Structure 1
Amino acid sequence: MAKWTAFPHLGEYAYTAATLKKHWARLHAGDAEPLPRDKAVLDAWALFHNGEFQKAVQAGLDAGGDGITCANKAACIYANYLEKKEKTRLDLFLEAAQRAEQQAAADPKNANAWYWQAYALGRYSQGISVAKALAQGLGTRVKDALEKTIKLQPKHADAHIALAAFHAEVIDKVGSLIGGMTYGAKKETGLNLYAQALELNPGAPIAMIEYANGLVMLEGDKRMKEATRLYERAAATEPMDATERLDVELAKAELQD
């Protein structure tokens, strides 16, 4: 495995298996992942929350079982925020999608097996262009996997965000008429899903950022002030772990542009 770009704030988060248990509910309000019983899996998650993404992937894969979920999340978060080479990013997303697909086949009731398959394919789709991905049938796979996630775990805030983004991006790229007829994408559905995500996980900077992006995609400039306020709230959030720190930094960077 090639050396990954380091999380720029290494050492600022220092979760252990013990301290992670205390903060688990807050840290996993987005993905509704159950607290692991296996110490090796919990150790992998501690590495993830501390920003040791490459080590978290390896530890999750070594632990097996639910550790695969940690490996997939660590790979996807790293690829999304820190990997600079586009080909490597896309490869990481595809690998995570394949692992998640195998995990879902082995454990069909595992909500996050479906979710990480959808997330990885969704980010891959953005990388190759949404229009191209839709033509390849990836949009339908993403939508189906996210709907399955929410059916299995109705409190999965991140799946609500991702499904909302699906509706917003499809309408943004192909228009509401074709988007609705061909892909079942609807503006109202997207807006409702964003609002539900923020209700389920009100402290998450990513929920605020994605909602802001969705408002502008679906409603245009008339919602720009509201979108800016959401970005300001995200930027003012006190991050609980490495991923939230990356989200907060992203919000700050957007406000400076």
Structure 2
Amino acid sequence: MTVTHVPARPFWLVILLTCWLGAAAHAFDDEGNLDEMDEVRPGELSYEDIPVDDRIFERPWTSVPFNTAFFDYTPEEIEARWDELMAGIRAPFPSPGYLEYMISNYPEIVEGVEAFNGDYEEFSRRNIHVWRLFLRGDLQQAREEGIQLGVMGLYPAMFAQTLYAIYLSERQTEKYMMLQDVANRVRDNFHLLDRAENDPIAAELVAFTKLGYAYALGRIAEESPVPVIVFRRYIGKIKGGAEEVVDLIPDHPLGHAFRAGVDAGIMRRVGRATGRITYGARSTVVDESFRKAFEMAPDIPILNYEYANALIYMSRKRDLELAYEYLDRATHFTPQWSMDALDTMYAFKRLQEVRLFDQHYRSFRAFERHRRRFSRVTDHNLTNVLSPPLTMDMMENPEQYTLPPLE
């Protein structure tokens, strides 16, 4: 077993953060009760990077809940449809010419890569094959083959891992470790960014790097206690990365949506006023960023369900009907590849979760508190599309749904 550790912060800093956040983050809910959802477990403030147990990559992963043949495109079809398939994420196509330019100018991207022998045509075919695995939903194989191709193969590999972590990992702890591993591996290539940032040919790859890193941390932060979010400096890393993506690629649809989602997520956790004053989170930024994203790519499922989430995070029940509309819309798209399919499935699950909130909770904060408590008590990953949607029995009796410890 390999576990990655980061040196602990000084003890005095842990105490200072805990005391300060006791007043600032352990706010009271809408009914005047002390908010329990930001309670910190022992040890959570002792590391900045979540320790990763490499056994999660050695076990067989759960298969996607659809026939991968639906999205099994030939290499020729992938090249012809690349711009359509990548409309949201804007990943660069690994053509022989592109690879030759990148490797010639940034040779470290193939340092120690046995799969590259100077033949750009063959290296392109191998990279396209990894994307083919990812597009059709063979996520573990895409990861394993992608990381053998250096930096270029790392991107579809880590994208596949992110998709698996969010939508198919059963446990919250496993999800967090997988996302942390993505952030770690992408961060290891940050040394390339300074050199490549002003290169227009490399701009999409740089933006993809920043988006992947910030998105992985964002998915950890959205369910973490506020003291942990502050201690690990998630907001600065995530918000800064989101802004850099749209600075590099102004017409990046998911870059704008992620930028909006960051501000909405901050408001979800600390409220509008604290979010605006402390972190610069503004509803006007959310509205404008989503407007730009929808102008560029209106038919992406994740864009629609994230906008629905943002409406709830900012306005609670005031815009709930509009949130329902966008969640329902997200469930009706015809998927073009594995990410679309899993996004659509999650939108359906999220729709049922929002109905639970609407029907049984007066307070959004109480709903969030119960939801987060269920996940922390049971270790269930609530974004797993294979697990049943939340019910009131689950929310009220989480101890009855606890997953057994990992061996």
Equivalent pair of 2:257/2:289 in contact (CA under 8 Å): yes
**Aligned with 1:21: secondary structure?**
helix
Q: Is the 8 A contact 2:222 2:265 kept in 1?
A: no
Is structure 2 residue 334 aligned with structure 1 residue 238? yes
Contact 1:157 1:201 in 2 (8 A): yes
**CA distance in 1 between partners of 2:190 and 2:305 (Å):** 29
CA distance in 1, matches of 2:141, 2:269: 37
**How do residues 63-212 of structure 1 correspond to structure 2 at under 5 angstroms?**
63-108=149-194, 109=197, 110-130=206-226, 132-212=228-308
Matched residue type, 2:316: G
Residue 127 of structure 1: how far off its partner (Å): 3.7
Residue 131 (structure 1) shift: 5.1
Distance 1:3 1:57 in 2: 12
User: Percent identical across equivalent pairs?
Assistant: 27
Tell me the equivalent position of 1:46. 132
Higher mean alpha-carbon deviation, 194-203 vs 231-240, is at: 194-203
For the pair 1:31 / 2:127, whether they are aligned, the reply is no
Question: Which blocks of at least 5 consecutive residues in structure 2 are unaligned?
Answer: 1-57, 96-123, 198-205, 356-407
Query: 2:78: which partner in 1?
Result: 20
| Distance in 2 (alpha carbons) for counterparts of 1:235 and 1:88 | 26
Give deviations 1:28-55, integer Å, cap 9, x for gaps. 1111111111221111111001001111
d(CA) in 1 for partners of 2:266 and 2:252? 22
Q: Secondary structure at the residue paired with 2:90? A: coil
- What is the distance in 1 between the residues matched to 2:162 and 2:171? 14
Q: Deviations over 1:99-141 (max 9, x none)?
A: 1112232234311111100001111112433552134211110
User: Comparing 232-241 with 96-105, which one deviates more in the overlay?
Assistant: 96-105
Q: Counterparts of 1:250 and 1:131 in 2: how far apart (Å)?
A: 28
TM-score, structure 1 as length reference: 0.94
For residue 207 of structure 1, report the CA deviation from its aligned partner: 0.2
Report Cα offsets for 1:7-44 as digits up to 9, x if no partner: 11133221222211122111111111111112211111
Say if 1:130 and 1:169, in contact at 8 Å, map to a contact too. Answer: no
- Cα–Cα, structure 1 residues 129 and 71, in superposed 2: closer, same or farther, change >3 Å? farther
Q: Which runs of 4+ in 1 moved over 4 A?
A: none
In 2, the alpha carbon distance for the partners of 1:42 and 1:134 equals 39
Partner Cα distance (2:260, 2:71) in 1: 30
* Kept in 1: contact 2:143–2:160 (CA 8 A): yes
Distance, in Å, in 2 between the alignment partners of 1:88 and 1:178 is 31
Seen in structure 2, the aligned counterparts of structure 1 residues 131 and 15 have a Cα distance that, compared at 3 Å, is: farther
- Cα deviation, 1:143-165, whole Å, max 9, x if unaligned, reads 11111111111122112222211
Name the SS for the 1:7 alignment partner. coil
For 2:93, what is the secondary structure of its paired residue?
coil
Aligned partner of 1:10 among 55, 67, 75: 67
Q: Report which stretch shifted further, 53-62 or 112-121.
A: 53-62
> Is the contact between residue 275 and residue 281 of structure 2 (CA under 8 Å) also seen in structure 1?
yes
Structure 1's unaligned 5+ residue stretches are none
Q: Which amino acid aligns with 1:33?
A: A
Count of residues in Structure 1 that have an aligned counterpart in Structure 2: 257
Q: Greater helix percent: which structure?
A: 1
CA contact (8 A) 1:32 1:155 kept: no
* TM-score, L = length of structure 2: 0.61
Q: Distance in 2 between matches of 1:236 and 1:130?
A: 35
CA contact (8 A) 2:210 2:241 kept: yes
Distance 2:304 2:131 in 1: 24
The amino acid of 2:77's aligned partner reads: T
SS of alignment partner, residue 63 of structure 2: coil
Counterpart amino acid of residue 163 in structure 1: R
- Give the greater-gyration-radius structure (CA): 2
Change (3 A) 1:58 1:49: same
Q: Which residue identity lines up with residue 189 of structure 2 in the other structure?
A: Q
1:51, 1:70 → 2: CA distance?
Answer: 11
Structure 1 residues 34 and 88, CA, compared in 2 at 3 Å: closer, same or farther?
same
